[in-house]
């Protein structure tokens, strides 16, 4: 098993046959789809990948990808730091038919030729994001007005005051 820095693309079948492992850091800015869920794109994702062939001759990709990201708290609308960790356990297949034949312990990774490593990692990281990001303890903001703004005066006449007068005259 050989360890190497994280490449941009790999041939997953050849890497599995050779039992290659990769480790490295990928900047969060590189993950455009993941960035749409985040407040900031600063930071890195620590990645460790291992390719191999199991006892059933199934090529696989195992590994982890973890990062600390900033999401928007849905209670107070302030940034909240969330630690995410994706566990990859993927069976490498050529098409959907082969994906259906994989044992349940593997999630299918359908790839024809080269594998874009960042894209595979990004998909797994998106799946680990919380549906609703919140702080452990935060106050809910209910007043979003500008504190320096002057309140609007009630100088406008009430359009229903005429109805009130008519109702008063009936009795």
pLDDT of 5 reads: 72
| Tokens at 106, concatenated | 């593997």
Higher per-residue confidence, 158 vs 22: 22
Q: What is the pLDDT of residues 128-148, one digit of tens each?
A: 999 988 888 876 656 666 666
pLDDT class of 1 with cuts at 50, 70, 90: very low
Higher per-residue confidence, 39 vs 157: 39
Over residues 96-114, the mean pLDDT reads 88
Q: What is the dihedral of CA 42, 82, 131, 89, to 10 degrees?
A: 90
CA distance 138 to 73: 9
pTM for the structure as a whole = 0.71
CA distance 139 to 101: 50
Over residues 108-129, the mean pLDDT reads 90
Q: What is the pLDDT of residues 51-97, one digit of tens each?
A: 999 998 999 999 999 999 999 998 888 899 999 999 999 998 988 88
The enclosing H or E element of 72 equals: strand 59-72
DSSP letters along 116-139, please?
EHHHHHHHHHHHHS-SS---SS-P
pLDDT of 137 reads: 82
DSSP code of 28? G
In the predicted model, is pLDDT for residue 171 greater than 60?
A: no
pLDDT of 60 reads: 94
Q: What is the pLDDT of residues 13-40, one digit of tens each?
A: 899 999 999 999 989 989 999 999 999 8
Over residues 145-167, the mean pLDDT reads 72
pLDDT of 101 reads: 86
């Amino acid at each position: 098993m050989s360890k190497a820095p994280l490449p941009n693309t790999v041939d997953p079948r050849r890497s599995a046959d050779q039992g290659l492992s990769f480790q490295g850091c990928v900047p969060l800015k590189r993950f455009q789809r993941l960035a749409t869920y985040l407040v900031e794109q600063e930071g890195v994702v620590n990645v460790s990948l291992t390719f191999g062939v199991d006892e059933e001759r199934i090529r696989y990709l195992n590994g982890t990808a973890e990062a600390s990201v900033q999401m928007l708290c849905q209670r107070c609308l302030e940034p909240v730091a969330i630690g995410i960790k994706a566990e990859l356990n993927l069976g490498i297949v050529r098409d959907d038919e082969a994906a259906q034949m994989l044992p349940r312990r593997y999630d299918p990774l359908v790839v024809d030729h080269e594998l874009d490593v960042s894209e595979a990692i990004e998909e797994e990281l998106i799946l680990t994001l919380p549906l609703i990001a919140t702080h452990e303890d935060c106050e809910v903001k209910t007043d979003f007005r500008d504190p320096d703004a002057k309140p609007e005066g009630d100088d406008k006449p009430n359009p229903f005051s005429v109805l009130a007068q008519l109702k008063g005259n009936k009795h």
